[in-house]
Structures are given as C-alpha cells and as structure tokens.
Structure 1
Amino acid sequence: MLRLRGRIVAHLLSFSSTSGPAISPLHRLLSASAAAGSISPNPGGFAVEEYLVDTCGLTRPQAFNASTKLSHLKSPANPDAVLAFLAGVGLSGADVAPVVAKDPQLLCAKVDKTLAPVVDGLTGLGLSRSDIARLVSLAPGGFRRRAIVSRLHYYLPLLGSFQNFLRLLKRSSHLLSSDLDKAVKPNVVFLRECGLGGCDIAKLCIRVPRMLSTNPERVRAMVACAERLGVPRGSGMLRQALQAVAFRSEEKIVARLKYLKNTFGWSDAEASIVVRRYPAVLGKSKESLKCRSEFLLSEVGLEPMSIAHQPVILSLSLEGRLRPRYYVIKFLKENGLLDGDPSFFTAVKMTEKVFMEKLISPHKEAAPHLAEDYATACKGEVPTNFIFRWTRNRL
C-alpha cells in the first residue's frame, strides 16, 4: 500500500514540469486518493523510513538518517501535502530527494500556515516559480521559515539581483540564519562608511560570504589591516585588499609579504607599492607567484622594480596571455617584422582585439601562420615550436 502511495505522489510530482500553478489540482488528487482509501495510513503505524525511500526517493542510508528527525510523524498526511505543494512550485520528483535529505523536517511544515505564505511573500518580491524552486533546492531549511521573506527583502537590493543572492547562498549556507540586526546590517553600514558602494559590497560578500555574518569588530580589524598595508578607506583598491586579508592572521600576511620580496627580489618599499596597487597579490598561491617570477625575471628579463611599478601584470594569465604574447613579440623582433619597439608591458595590457590588429594582422603575408600559432600558444601549448618553424621558413 505504501508503495502505491509512493507511485501516486511521484506521479503528482511529475506534473511540476508543466507551466502554471499546480498546487490546487495536486491537493485535489491527493484528497481524492485518500478518500478512496488507496493511500490510507498503515494500521500498525506510519513507516517513516519506507515512506522516505518509496515516496521521496531517498537512498536507504539517507532515509535511515532522516527518519530520526521524523519519528514523531504518525501519518503521511502532512508529508503528502508538502510534496504536493513543492510540486506546485516547480520541484520535480528528482528534486525532492536531495531537498528532503538535506532538511527532512520540511515534510513537517504546515502548507497553509508557513509554506503558502512564504511563496506568496517571495512572489511579491518578484521571484518567479523557477526562482522559488531553486531557492527551495538550495535552502529548504530557510524555506520553511517565514522570516525568509523579510531576509530576501533586505538581501536582494543589497546584492543587486536574485542571481547574486543565489551565488552567495551557494557559498554560505548560513546566510539565511545570520543575525541581520547584530551582524549583517552593522557590517554593511560600516563598509559603506569606508567608501564601498553597493556593487563593491556585493562583489566582496560574494567572494567572502563570512564578511556579512561575522562579528562587526572583525570587519573593523580587517579594514585596519588593509590600512596598515597602505590601502586606506575610500581607496578604489579597498575591496581587493579586504578580499586578500579577510580572515587571515597577521602572521600569515607578514609571511606572504616576505615570500613576495624573496621571490621577486623586491625591497620593502617595492613590496609596499605592489600591495597598494594590486592587493589581490596577497591571495595568489605560492606556485603561481613562483612561476610568474621565473618567467618575468629569468625569461623575459624584466627588472624587479619594473614589475613592482606595474603589478597588474601579475593578474594576467601566464599561459593564456603573458607567455604567448611574449613569444609573438620575440618572433617579430628576431625576424625584423616589428615596426617600432612596443614594450612587453604595453603588449600584454592590450585588449585581444587591439593586439591582433597591431601585432598579428599586419604580418599576414610575411607570417601567414602567425595567428594560428598564437592561438595555439594561448591554449597552453609550448609556443617555442612556431618561433623556430617560422625562422626556418623565413630563411
């Protein structure tokens, strides 16, 4: 009998892929089935674990773990109503299992007193049926609390869009349970006082979700750390600096500065210049920094001071931009095809379109395969092959 109930509810859930509200028809079908006696409760008690497997699609281990939180259920009436409601807001049968496994107590929520008012409130905020379904999938625990509406009423304008909210929610499952009045709002107010606009705050919080929910004193400490590194409040680099120092100890930041100086041969003053102009360098991996150092200093032959005064070069892809463009310039110089003498910095900072127009396209006749070889090099393949091939062809 329980398996028959599972087939019926699963059939109802399959209707969720059709357009338009499906809540009322599903409730009617469930009621009709119940009235007919086809899905009456087990006289010996409600077998929760079997219900989770047969009706919700959980694996046996998932059902065993979830059933401990549902032991108080005496019948499938409320879970059936919840499943029907979820189908109505767009969750398919395949969506139900991970949602219930993540938050089994969703099956205990009251449709009329909680879930329906939540959906009405979210719809009033401009969320579509598919938006709500995605929200349920990501945060079923938050969805069964009516406070979710007021929280989204605050977060959506702050983050700029529902898509940004979802990106943040994926990175921080605690977003919907964070204390708005004691943590989130004070942190946002302080960041605005430091000169960050709405867009910067959204980008910062998406990259560092804990920045919103942490103790406001910790956020103040991070700003103070950025200031000690030479990035003051009001600076256009403050967001990057906060991303770089967020939740890092003073010892780790000092150690990273020491590594930068040793790796690139910078003085204290030069390292300070780099951090002020490109704070994100503090967040780059040691392997990435070492590879860039070896290429820029040993292969290209740049001076440490030159890199320090144009540190944006450290943000560019080594294999996808720096190395391929260097070899193009090298090839053009060696073969007498270069008009003028653009610096390496100038070449790598060009947009792709300008680089092609200035340094690739003018040499179609003299080096007809240069564009193809450059494209190959941009994929990370060894670029020296085309240099020697073109030298031989030219000779």
Structure 2
Amino acid sequence: MSEKTIEEKVNVYKRLGFSEVDIWAIFKKWPFFLKFSKKKIILMFETLKKCGLVEEEVISVLKTRPQCIRASEQKILDSIETFLNLGFSRDEFKIMVKRYPQCTAYTAETVRKKFEVLVKKMNWPLEDVVLIPAVLGYSLEKRIVPRTNVIKALMSKGLIGSENPPISSVLVCTDQEFLKRYVMKHDKLVPKLMAIFIRARVS
C-alpha cells in the first residue's frame, strides 16, 4: 500500500476512537488490520455495536482480536441468533464477545454440539459458559468429551459427589493436571478411567 492509503486507513480507525498507539500495536499483532476498506472497517464497527457493545468495548474487542474485522456482518448476526436460540440473553452474548471475541466465528453447528455436552449432558449452567466462553474453543473430541466422560463415570460411582465440579476445574487445565486431579487419585479405577479418557479421544 502507498503511504497515502495507509494514512487514510489509520485516519478511519482514529475517527472510530482508536489511538495511534492502539493502531500500531494492532498492526504489529496482525498487519492485515490495515488491508480492509473504509466501508468494511466501519461496517464491522457498527456490527459489533449490534452485539450490544459500546464504542470503548468494540475498540477493546478489536485490540484483542483484530481478525474479527474480516468476519461478515451476516456471520456475526447469525452468531447472535444462534446463542439467543440456545437460551443465552443478549447481555450474556455481549459478555462472551468481550471476553472471547472468537465465539462469533464458530458455526451454529459447532456451538450447538458443544452446548449439548456442556449444558445438556453435564448440566453446567449457562452462566458458567458466559463466564468462561473460551470453553467453546476447546476441541469436542480431544478435550471436552473425554474429560466429561470421566467426570460422569466418577459421579455415577459417587466418588466426587452428586454435583458437577466447576467447569474451570474440568476443562481449563492441561491433560496432565486433569488426570492428576480426577484419575490418578482413584487407585483401583485408574485403568478403567484411563480407558474411558483415551477411548473418547480416539473414537
């Protein structure tokens, strides 16, 4: 791009409320940030406002995840509809976008499949997903299903009580930490629990 074109793009972001420091920090993170047309930049800014975000929050989201700019308006509007249809409120969707902007990039099918396991099968409340929306980014096959299967097996034997452990305790940790926390301490059941854990990962 010519210097003039770059300057024009920078000025668009400035008019939207970004500081020059913000703009160049984002550029270092993702240079394509300056590739988009003025129309596309403004459209994305307005689309994120439709998620319920105010100007400062949109700026914060784009500083965290500038790749959001390349998403189509329709994709984000479809994402809003997907979450609302699953029972999330607009305020909850707004919180998730602020905490984990990537959630707007997932297909309706991906979100629904993970919702079925996390909320329907495991009975974790919607609020847990809202507080830690990054769980929607975890692999269903490699992380979510193997771990939740182990937890279900432990609960069925009354080894961890009748209530689910926190979603953060189960999903937001390495495999080694999970196994230490929920498998290795149950001496006689270790082979069976490991079989459940591994079978789910390879099936």
2:201 to 368, 375, 378: 378
Matched, 1:201 2:23: no
Paired amino acid for 2:30: L
Q: Any conservation in 2 of the 1:325–1:348 contact (CA below 8 Å)?
A: yes
Query: Out of 309, 319, 343, which is 2:141 matched to?
Result: 319
Give the match for residue 278 of structure 1.
100
Report 1:73-112 matches (<5 A). Answer: none
Work out the CA distance in 2 between the residues paired with 1:194 and 1:217: 22
**Equivalent position of 2:116 in the other structure:** 294
Distance, in Å, in 2 between the alignment partners of 1:375 and 1:185 is 54
1:1-395 aligned at under 5 Å gives the runs: 179-184=1-6, 186-187=8-9, 190=13, 193=20, 195=22, 198=25, 200-205=26-31, 209=32, 211-216=33-38, 218-226=40-48, 229=51, 230=53, 231-233=57-59, 235=60, 237-239=61-63, 241-249=65-73, 251-262=74-85, 264-338=86-160, 342-379=165-202, 381=203
The answer to whether the Cα contact below 8 Å between 1:278 and 1:312 also exists between their aligned partners in 2 is yes
C-alpha distance 228-259 of structure 1, shift in aligned 2 (>3 A): closer
* d(CA) in 2 for partners of 1:212, 1:348: 36
Residue 183 of structure 2 aligns to a residue whose secondary structure is helix
Which structure has the larger Rg?
Answer: 1
Write the deviation string for residues 247-295 of structure 1: whole angstroms up to 9, x where unpaired.
Answer: 513x543333122210x21122222222222221111112101211222
Q: Does the CA contact (< 8 Å) of 2:79 and 2:106 recur in 1?
A: no
TM-score (structure 1 length as normaliser): 0.42
Q: CA RMSD in A?
A: 3.0
CA contact (8 A) 1:225 1:245 kept: no
* Separation (CA, whole Å) in 2 of partners of 1:338 and 1:354: 17
CA shift in 2, pair 1:341/1:330, >3 Å: same
CA distance in 1, matches of 2:158, 2:139: 27
Deviation at 1:183, TM superposition (A): 3.0
Rate the CA distance shift 1:192–1:214 in 2: closer, same or farther, 3 A. same
Structure 1 residues 247 and 180 mapped into 2: Cα distance closer, same or farther (>3 Å)?
Answer: farther
Distance 2:184 2:10 in 1: 49
Q: Structure 1 regions of 5+ residues with no counterpart? A: 1-178, 382-395
Q: Give, in angstroms, the shift of residue 367 of structure 1.
A: 2.7
Do the aligned partners of 2:79 and 2:107 also contact (CA within 8 Å) in 1? no
Alpha-carbon distance in 1 for matches of 2:71, 2:4:
19
How many residue pairs get aligned? The number is 193
Residue identity matched to 1:246: R
Deviation at 1:217, TM superposition (A): 5.2
Query: Which residue is 1:391 aligned to?
Result: none
- Alpha-carbon spacing, 1:180–1:275, altered in 2? closer, same or farther (3 Å): same
**Kindly tell me: are residues 194 and 272 of structure 1, through their superposed partners in 2, closer, same or farther at Cα, counting changes over 3 Å?**
farther
The two structures have a TM-score, normalised by structure 2, of 0.76
| Residue 224 of structure 1, CA deviation | 4.8
CA contact (8 A) 2:6 2:34 kept: yes
Cα drift, residue 325 of structure 1: 0.7
Aligned equivalents of 1:353 and 1:183: distance in 2? Answer: 50
Give, in whole Å, the separation in 1 of the partners of 2:124 and 2:10. Answer: 42
Percent identity, aligned pairs only, is 23
Q: How many Å separate the matches in 2 of 1:247 and 1:319?
A: 26
Larger displacement relative to structure 2 (280-289 or 333-342): 333-342
C-alpha contact 1:326 1:344 (8 A) present in aligned 2: no
Contact 1:274 1:309 in 2 (8 A): yes
Shift of 1:222: 2.9
Contact residue 183 and residue 213 of structure 1 kept, 8 A: no
Greater relative contact order (Cα < 8 A, sep 6+): 2
